[in-house]
Amino acid sequence: MTNSAVMVKNEYLQEVINKVKEKCGFEPEFIQAMEEVLTTLEPVVQKHEKEYKDIALLERLTEPERIISFRVPWLDDNGKVQVNRGYRVQFNGAIGPYKGGLRFHPSVNQSILKFLGFEQIFKNALTGLPIGGGKGGSDFDPKGKSDNEIMRFCQSFMTELQKYIGQDVDVPAGDIGVGAREIGYLFGQFRKIRNSYEAGVLTGKGLEYGGSLVRTQATGYGLLYFMREMLKANGQNLNGKTVIISGSGNVAIYAAEKAYEFGAKVLGMSDSNGCIYDENGVNLDIIKEIKEVKRGRIKEYLNYVPNAIYSENSGSVPAVYKIKAEIILPCATQNDINLETAKILVANGAIAVGEGANMPTTPDAVEYFIQNKVLFAPGKAANAGGVATSALEMAQNSMRYSWNYDEVDQKLDGIMTNIFKNCEKAAKEYGYEGNYVVGANIAAFRKIAKAMRAQGVI
Ligand code: NDP
Ligand code: 2IT
């Protein structure tokens, strides 16, 4: 059902998949995300085929409303002009203003941003909040750049982006390589150019200038709230479980924090170079010091805990996934867990996988987990806590008021619990009990399809 090689029987659906593949042949990540979603929608499309076909619903759903691409020139510290490419993919605004993060990473291209924007439509629908789907970013590499270089880049990026965004139009936030520092510089430039304090134009802001409590923690905490519900529904819990987490950025750190709160033990974390293994449980204060304060490499953990083990990545299985654990939380990037890795994880006794990252598991690996009865929490549901809390930040900005920590955290917990219940229910309704991949896609799609149909052919 989730394997992209599987042909669907419904002719309309297959025709749309084929057309998108033909048109977007050079966008492998987008095709992967599109095919993963569309193949799971077959039971719904089968039921409403004529209705959807008449209004070209799937054709419109797979075509972004707008893609903006622009030049980003900036001066480095040596006075040399550098040029990057910026993007914003405004994929679908049927449910609310386009909403989704900005990614700054050298790998960024249109395919990656279309995959992320497409996923975001569904994720945002699942939150139950009024936000459409979008994503943006740049091939800019923040690694090794000075604070001033980051600021000049963000200012140049926003000088162009500000033409296309607004609190009722499109609301960017962070993603890989974009955190509180970058959002601050982006917001400052937006405010200077527009001469207007439109706090709701960006989320993930600092608490002093319109940010929301819990937004920093939200994706990681939300992932664990979803995991708690998924385990509970299957007669399990997190207490005493061993955990491995890929990544050591925003999502990974706060996933680890909540995992500890729920009584689990994090044995390993990673960055793009390699992983650390600490049999006593990874010390998060040290990880925060290395990553949030020093912006260093995870290998530096050994300077603090000499008994820990560092393994450099090599080959097609990232080192962190060779650590034996029960709960697997991929919180780094896409296509991190392939079939080979999935087989190792299952052989090592994994009981559940929770995608903190977007599309970290390849389709054949997802299939393998599900076949082997490993509980699988798909990213568009399990990592929706970040964008949900962004929507709560927008709500607070509109009210010109802020909720306290417990209020936001309780709302986040409620939203994640609800998302789990909706995925569980939709899966069951269509005969896929326990398959939260199918459940998430169908629950989200039904809402988007209704909103699109109601608004006519636009
Ligand atoms: P960060 O930039 O804070 O951290 C990214 C982490 O992933 C770093 O540890 C990075 O290591 C690691 N990584 C490993 N391989 C790669 C690679 N090839 N490309 C990029 N990073 C890599 O990002 P976030 O924690 O915000 O994002 C992590 C994932 O979670 C992404 O998939 C993102 O789309 C998703 N996500 C984020 C949300 C948010 O609110 N921030 C919300 C929902 C999903 P290194 O430092 O070596 O590059
Ligand atoms: O992938 C994601 O959901 C994010 N990077 C967060 C987006 C947001 O608008 O908070």
Give the chain's largest Cα–Cα span.
65
CA angle 416, 232, 260 (to 5 degrees): 75
99 touches ligand 1 (CB under 6 Å) = no
Residue 75 has pLDDT above 90, yes or no: yes
CA distances from 201 to 107, 250, 374, 430 (A): 26, 21, 40, 38
CA distances from 381 to 121, 335, 453 (A): 11, 17, 23
Q: How many Å separate Cα 341 from the centre of its chain? A: 21
Question: pLDDT tens digit string along 156-196?
Answer: 999 999 999 999 999 999 999 999 999 999 999 999 999 99
Residue 3 confidence (pLDDT): 45
Task: Return the residue whose CA atom lies nearest to atom 7 of ligand 1.
Answer: 332
105 touches ligand 1 (CB under 6 Å) = yes
For the chain, where do the domains classified as CATH 3.40.50.10860 start and end?
Answer: 66-197
CB 119 within 8 A of CB 357: no
Amino acid at 308: A
Cα(175) to centroid of ligand 2, in Å? 6
203 touches ligand 2 (CB under 6 Å) = yes
Tokens 């209705």 locate to 51
Q: Is 35 helix (H, G, I), strand (E, B) or coil?
A: helix
Question: pLDDT tens digit string along 95-130?
Answer: 999 999 999 999 999 999 999 999 999 999 999 999
CB 134 within 8 A of CB 170: yes
List, in order, residues 6 or more apart from 141 with CB less than 8 Å away: 104, 105, 106, 177
Distance from the first to the final alpha carbon of the chain: 31
Rg (CA), the chain: 21
User: What's this model's pTM, rounded to 2 decimal places?
Assistant: 0.98
Q: Which ligand is nearest to the CA of 129?
A: 2
Q: Is 353 helix (H, G, I), strand (E, B) or coil?
A: strand
Cα(171) to centroid of ligand 2, in Å? 10
Beta strands at 170-174 and 98-104: parallel, antiparallel or unpaired: parallel
Average pLDDT in the 13-20 region? 98
173 touches ligand 2 (CB under 6 Å) = yes
Tallying the residues shown for the chain, one arrives at 458
127 touches ligand 1 (CB under 6 Å) = no
Q: How confident is the model at residue 4 (pLDDT cuts 50, 70, 90)?
A: very low
Tokens 């069951």 locate to 428
Residue 358 confidence (pLDDT): 98
For the chain, where do the domains classified as CATH 3.40.50.720 start and end?
Answer: 218-373
CA angle 450, 454, 457 (to 5 degrees): 110
Q: Which residues pair with residue 172 across a beta bridge?
A: 100
Active site residues: 135
Q: Which CATH architecture has domain 218-373?
A: 3-Layer(aba) Sandwich (3.40)
Q: Which ligand is nearest to the CA of 203?
A: 2
Rounded CA-CA distance 387/203 in Å is 9
CB 132 within 8 A of CB 387: no
Closest CA to 116 of 138, 140, 89, 97: 89
Question: pLDDT tens digit string along 228-282?
Answer: 999 999 999 999 999 999 999 999 999 999 999 999 999 999 999 999 999 999 9
Residue 29 has pLDDT above 70, yes or no: yes
Cα(312) to centroid of ligand 2, in Å? 29
CA distances from 13 to 57, 179, 264 (A): 11, 38, 42
Cα(357) to centroid of ligand 1, in Å? 7
Residue 2 confidence (pLDDT): 43
List, in order, residues 6 or more apart from 80 with CB less than 8 Å away: none
Q: How confident is the model at residue 6 (pLDDT cuts 50, 70, 90)?
A: low
Report which ligand 1 atom has the smallest distance to the Cα of 215. 40
Residue 1 confidence (pLDDT): 42
Structure tokens at 19: 């057309």
57 touches ligand 2 (CB under 6 Å) = no
Structure tokens at 319: 């080192």
220 touches ligand 2 (CB under 6 Å) = no
Rounded CA-CA distance 104/404 in Å is 31
358 touches ligand 1 (CB under 6 Å) = yes
Q: Is 282 helix (H, G, I), strand (E, B) or coil?
A: coil
> For 67, phi and psi rounded to 5 degrees?
-125, 125
Strand positions, DSSP E, 93-238: 98-104, 132-138, 170-174
Give the mutation target among 29, 116, 359, 387 for probing the ligand 2 site: most ligand atoms within 8 A of CB.
387
- Topology annotation, domain 66-197: Rossmann fold (3.40.50)
Rounded CA-CA distance 88/365 in Å is 30
Cα(391) to centroid of ligand 2, in Å? 10
CB 387 within 8 A of CB 131: yes
Report which ligand 1 atom has the smallest distance to the Cα of 251. 25
